[in-house]
Chains A and B, each alone.
Chain A
């Protein structure tokens, strides 16, 4: 199954990736080959089989903890890695004209 360049661009836009023209070409070919491989799943009859939606078996998960205050990151710690900040906010380019 060949993925067209238009489909590659549509998926890249959904994924918020800005691919170069070379990457679009490369991924169209490579993703097509991978999708061809995964199509072997179509050979299986999965009717009536429930999806495995949890990796941890029921009854193994931790119980909910009491809803009490616990210390978390301070604003300074949370902002320490911010590429740009203003006061106690993350700063981004203007989004409303």
Chain B
């Protein structure tokens, strides 16, 4: 029998092979993950809730299925976890907010239901910034999440728990959501692979809404194979989400080993300017040189409207958030302020008590941007700039197959470093945000270390061309070898 520490260190692909070969059972994998969570999560803070008994029951059911010859596929029996923004039937879902404390969803998000339908074992719900609003996970109303590479640093956000849990070897794959970089930034900071699919590739049904025209659920894993397997399970049309694309999902594992020969990689000059830390730039340039060695060609491109991305994003995302968060009014679910008379007072008091500072700040900004007299100057103008940003990419993709650059200007920053200045926090998303505005798929794959901390390479692709992104990321991963495991957690606290 394999030791528990060896089991939790496996990739999803290797864990799946162990199940298939009979060298490990789902119960063994699940017990090993639960033990690892118990041993490390007091320091990491990746989980908001661990559903041990349900996980073990699902593991036993998977083992029985396999023994009877009815295993469902590569995810059957694999312990996974999802961001606490996905609704899970019968399991409390908070969105990282006090306003949803104690909320128990009556249905599952489509992505969660599909993982369960594929036989996966869900270990619990992962930490996040409140309503996915943040770049460091520090806006969680419950507990901070720390980076397993350096516990004084943030894991990135908003899907901080989704990336930290993988780096800490607590599970084999996770789901996050990405509205402005919330999968790719934490993946980069924690040294794992994270994919934000094309808008509409994965159903948003049952994913608590932040900014509906930008939100997109997606997978994170320790390898590109793991991410491809997860995407294959969750992608595809969903009659419950009218903004989910009708085109069928691809087989993202089939084309994974295609290599990088002949690939045309666009390198936007605007992504390598001032503010990019030299060591991060060095790792990204080395990755690009590796691609050249593998037979890809580099094409210099321009995305001239990139610099307006943050401004357009913080008008559009906050405007949509102010509308989406209007539903938290203390009437049908969530926190209700006690002892209040009058309906308007009930709304205002419940919201004042339930929301943290960041949702309030964004609701205020979005309400302002949509209010009479300001709509044209702010929201409508931002929507036009969004068109210009999309056109930049459309023009670039006439000359290249993927766009490559850094995920973030620097590696993981320290807790508390940016919390006093919201604008500085927003600027952490400067390279990831245009991909959401243009509704394109984007991925972060580890490309080395800077100052001992992981650096991610960002790849952005054509609409619905996740297969090319994963194939390109796989080619780099094969050259660099498996991403190392962080050592910080192995030192006694």
Contact = CB atoms under 8 A, between A and B. Distances in A.
Given A50-B384, A62-B246, A82 B344 contact: no
Interface stretch (B68-76, B226-234, B258-266, B324-332): B324-332
A19 B363 CA distance: 12
Interface string A36-67: 01111110101001111111110011110100
Name the prevailing secondary structure of the B interface residues: helix
A4 to B, nearest CB: 12
A81 B333 contact: yes
A77 B340 CA distance: 26
Interface in B346-399: 346-349, 351-352, 355, 357, 360-361, 363-365, 367-368, 371, 378, 380-388, 390
Contacts, number: 174
Interface stretch (B162-170, B235-243, B449-457, B473-481): B235-243
Name the prevailing secondary structure of the A interface residues: loop
B308 interface: yes
A92 B342 CA distance: 8
A17 B366 CA distance: 13
Contacts of B250: none
B356 to A, nearest CB: 11
Interface in A11-46: 11-12, 14-20, 23, 26-27, 30-31, 33-35, 37-42, 44, 46
A93 to B, nearest CB: 5
B314 A34 contact: yes
A57 B440 CA distance: 11
A78 interface: yes
Contacts of A30: 361, 422-423
A93 B342 contact: yes
B29 interface: no
B363 A17 contact: yes
A71 B5 CA distance: 45
B244 A62 contact: yes
Interface of A: 3, 7-8, 11-12, 14-20, 23, 26-27, 30-31, 33-35, 37-42, 44, 46, 49-57, 60-63, 65, 73, 77-78, 80-84, 90, 92-95
